Structure 1
Amino acid sequence: MSISTVITAAGKNSRMRKDQLARNLELKNKLILPFGDKTVIETTIDNALSLNVDECIVVLGHYSSEIKEAIFDNYKDKVKFIENNPVDVGLSVSLYNGLSNITSDFALCITADQPTVLPETFEKMIETSQESDDPFHTISILRRRKSGLLDTAEGLGMPFVAPRENLMKYLENEDDNLNPILRKIFADGYTFYGIKEKNKKELLNINHYDDYLNLLD
């Protein structure tokens, strides 16, 4: 069964900008902040590209020009960039737009501010999805509370592996964060498997400047 990766990189960056203003720092999108010898988004993309997937889509929106200026030349032959239109939409719309640009049976869905999630963890998600009893009604997801077979979708978000067409049916006509949608999918009887992280940093997203500093330690 074929699988592609969709990376969402379209957010408003509002919490990071607020923190940067409070610290008198240069305003810069969190996705292009330095992370080792790359940027945050480059690390996330490279982790995805190391996997055996059919293609990689990056969905841009807010600050797309700033992000593309920083990374486009390095990745134009490796990933497909698409842009939300209109720009001011929820995460569910960004993900739907990304899924609309792939043809694979399954999608590994990642947010660009997750550079610490290791390729091995993504591989475990893919493996768990593909080896389940019913892959087309299974969500394999980075755990938040419990790992293994889950009894709730509360608190869950990306990254996860899901059947593309089925997921798109839930995302269509929605403009929301993902957790309410994942709870609907769970309520409809889908099996959710929580994948345990390799280390605690994999569970952290970069929302605030302190999150970024903590991940640099």
Structure 2
Amino acid sequence: MSISTIITAAGKNSRMRKDQISRNIELKNKLILPFKDKTVIETTIDNALSADVDECIVVLGHYANEIKEAIFDNYKDSVKFIINDPVDVGLSVSLYNGLANIDSEFALCITADQPTVSTETFNRMIKASNNSDDPYHTISILRRRKTGLLNTAEGLGMPFVAPRLNLMKYLENEDDNLNPILRKIFSDGYTFYGIKEKNKKELLNINHYDDYLVLLD
């Protein structure tokens, strides 16, 4: 099956900015903070590009110029960048805009502040989707509670693998976080399959400065 990666990198960075101000440290978007030998977003992109995908789309919005200036030269030949217009939209709109710019049947959907999710885990998600009885009505997703067949979508978010066109139907005309939309998809009878993490750090997004410090350790 053809599959593209959508990486959303369009958020307001408000919680990180608040933490940086309270600590009296330099204000910098969390996605371009140093991580390993690169930045947070570059590490996420590299892990995605190494997975079994056909292309990678990065969706920018708030701080688009700052992020693009930091990483564009390194990825101009391997990543397609798109910018939300208008900028001030919810995560569901960013994901929809990414999906609208690919032709693949399936999408690996990731947030850019997930640099610890490994290529191995992405590939397990892709494989689970591909091997399901009905890939077009299956969401393969990084587990938060149980693994395997799930009996709820509560608490779930990215990363996940989903059929592109079906997902777009649920995202269209929505401007929201993803969990309410995932719950709607689940209630409509889609199979949700929880993929176990490689290690506990894969379950942590970088929202606050303390999250960043934990993942650096």
Normalised TM-score (structure 2):
1.00
One-letter amino acid of the counterpart of residue 14, structure 1: S
Give the distance between the partners of 1:31 and 1:125, measured in 2 at CA.
Answer: 24
Cα RMSD, aligned residues only? 0.4
- Trace 1:53-202 onto structure 2 (pairs within 5 A): 53-202=53-202
Q: Deviation of residue 51 (structure 1)?
A: 1.5
Deviations 1:8-54 (A, max 9, x none): 00000000000000000100000000001100000000001111211
Runs of 4 or more consecutive aligned structure 1 residues displaced over 2 Å after TM superposition: none
* SS across alignment from 1:175: coil
Deviations 1:42-79 (A, max 9, x none): 00000011112111000000000000010001101110
One-letter amino acid of the counterpart of residue 138, structure 2: T
Give the distance between the partners of 2:4 and 2:147, measured in 1 at CA.
Answer: 24
Give the distance between the partners of 2:190 and 2:51, measured in 1 at CA.
Answer: 25
One-letter amino acid of the counterpart of residue 179, structure 2: N
Give the distance between the partners of 1:87 and 1:36, measured in 2 at CA.
Answer: 29
One-letter amino acid of the counterpart of residue 154, structure 2: E
One-letter amino acid of the counterpart of residue 202, structure 1: E
- What percentage of residue pairs aligned between the two structures are identical? 87
Give the distance between the partners of 1:73 and 1:196, measured in 2 at CA.
Answer: 34
Residue in 1 that maps onto 2:19: 19
Give the distance between the partners of 1:121 and 1:192, measured in 2 at CA.
Answer: 16
Give the distance between the partners of 1:52 and 1:77, measured in 2 at CA.
Answer: 18
- Trace 1:198-213 onto structure 2 (pairs within 5 A): 198-213=198-213
* SS across alignment from 1:95: helix
1:52 is aligned to 2:52: yes
One-letter amino acid of the counterpart of residue 129, structure 2: S
Give the distance between the partners of 1:25 and 1:109, measured in 2 at CA.
Answer: 32
One-letter amino acid of the counterpart of residue 176, structure 2: D
- Trace 1:23-34 onto structure 2 (pairs within 5 A): 23-34=23-34
One-letter amino acid of the counterpart of residue 78, structure 2: K
One-letter amino acid of the counterpart of residue 17, structure 1: R
Q: Deviation of residue 192 (structure 1)?
A: 0.1
Could you tell me which runs of 5 or more consecutive residues in structure 1 were left unpaired when the two chains were aligned.
none
How many equivalent residue pairs? 217
* SS across alignment from 2:89: coil
One-letter amino acid of the counterpart of residue 84, structure 2: N
Give the distance between the partners of 1:60 and 1:12, measured in 2 at CA.
Answer: 11
